[in-house]
Amino acid sequence: MALADNSWAWLLTRYSDIRSALSDPRFSSDVNAPGFPRSGMVTAGEGASLIRTDPPEHGRRRRMLTHAFTVKSVSRLRSRIQQITDRLCDEMEEQKRKDGSGGSVDLVRSLALPLPSLVISLLLGVPYEDRDLFQSITATVLSRVNTEDERTVARKELRTYLSHLVAAKEENPGDDILSELVHDRMREGQLTREEVTGTATLLLIAGHETTANMIGLGALTLIRNPSAADELRKDPSLMPGTVEELLRFHSITRSGPRRAAIADVEVGGRLIRAGEGIICAVASANRDPEQFPDGDTVDIRRRNAQHHIAFGYGVHQCLGQSLARAELEISLNTLLARFPGLRLAVDFAEVPFRSDMLVYGCHALPVTW
């Protein structure tokens, strides 16, 4: 495919081809690798973060974080996530009570955005009272309509904020990931200050933005599929499979993984030469009829939904996927249980979707019950 700077890259759309490429060490994630398709790429400004490193350096740095996001670690967080969800739902009920029977609540602002923001702030050790700052910066960075200059200013603002926070953790450490990186890794010379800041930037943005939008889209999908919602109310144990199906169906990241070949590689019967780039269309792969028959339909009992690649694949597979799954399962099950009459407060055509953003979702989701 042709890119905006008159360069070109291979576009991979088939499920099998993308899994093959993302698990092949002959493809590099380094944006400085020859042929890497940078044109038109909107990034969070990861800089020195692990998302743009290749093995073995990638593995070394990822292992410093893995323990905080294992299934076992997340299972210990589930009660805390449930408490936060219950409190946010209490606040939704109180707001609705104040507004009267004709009132509505924006589910994005009331639950979908604050829940993952609170959780990642708790894990990282970022003061939640600073949420307006990092949520605003994230919106600027991930906008597809802002200029690169505007995104650069926003990225610098966030890195400055996190640099100051790193310095504060040096003086007053807490029981959080950032304090651990500063005291156990940076002081021992395993990570530079820039690497710690870059990692914190990635975790803060990815830790709330993607899950927030999936909560909103997941709720909207269930509202528009009342039979599925009723099944889940009767049998909440169906929710883990439903979450996998929602992740597959929505595939919310609008810019798929990019790589550069560092050696000649054959993918799907085509030879990709060293120095050529690839762009992986994850949304297409997750609806590939060879892998997911009738993929344009949400089926909460789909047998192989968990084989989706919404979290990526290979060594760069999303570090926080267990946390995202827990937040989605808990928030959606709680919504269905607490608000059996949950419905849109506006026509579906009036829901403002995030077609202008790198991460798809709803800008707002007015609901009532």
CATH code that applies to domain 10-80+102-368: 1.10.630.10
| pLDDT at residue 45 is higher than 60 | no
| pLDDT one-digit tens code per residue, 66-94 | 999 999 999 999 999 999 999 999 999 99
Q: Which two tokens stand for residue 301?
A: 């009992």
Return the minimum-mean-pLDDT range out of 63-72, 95-104, 176-185, 217-226: 95-104
| pLDDT at residue 165 is higher than 70 | yes
Q: Measure CA of the first residue to CA of the last residue in the chain; give whole Å.
A: 47
User: CA–CA separation, 32 vs 202, rounded Å?
Assistant: 19
| pLDDT at residue 46 is higher than 60 | no
**Which amino acid, one-letter code, is at 333?**
N
Cβ pair 86, 120 in contact under 8 A: no
Residue 49's pLDDT band (cuts 50, 70, 90): low
Report pLDDT for 13.
Answer: 98
Report pLDDT for 218.
Answer: 99
> What is the β-pairing status of strands 265-267 and 366-368?
unpaired
Report pLDDT for 42.
Answer: 59
| pLDDT at residue 114 is higher than 60 | yes
Report pLDDT for 206.
Answer: 86
Q: Rounded mean pLDDT of 311-316?
A: 96
Report pLDDT for 107.
Answer: 98
Q: Rounded mean pLDDT of 274-295?
A: 98
Percentage of the chain surpassing pLDDT 90?
76
Report pLDDT for 212.
Answer: 96
Q: Rounded mean pLDDT of 251-276?
A: 96
| pLDDT at residue 65 is higher than 80 | yes
Report pLDDT for 43.
Answer: 58
Q: Domain extents for the chain?
A: 10-80+102-368
| pLDDT one-digit tens code per residue, 232-255 | 999 999 999 999 999 999 999 988
Residue 231's pLDDT band (cuts 50, 70, 90): very high
| Model pTM above 0.75 | yes
Report pLDDT for 337.
Answer: 98
Cβ pair 112, 209 in contact under 8 A: no
Q: Which two tokens stand for residue 69?
A: 């996001």
Closest by CA position to 11, among listed 268, 251, 253: 268
| pLDDT one-digit tens code per residue, 12-29 | 999 999 999 999 999 999
DSSP annotation of 353: B
Report pLDDT for 50.
Answer: 80
Return the minimum-mean-pLDDT range out of 80-89, 151-160, 336-345: 151-160
| pLDDT at residue 302 is higher than 70 | yes
Mean pLDDT, rounded, of the chain: 93
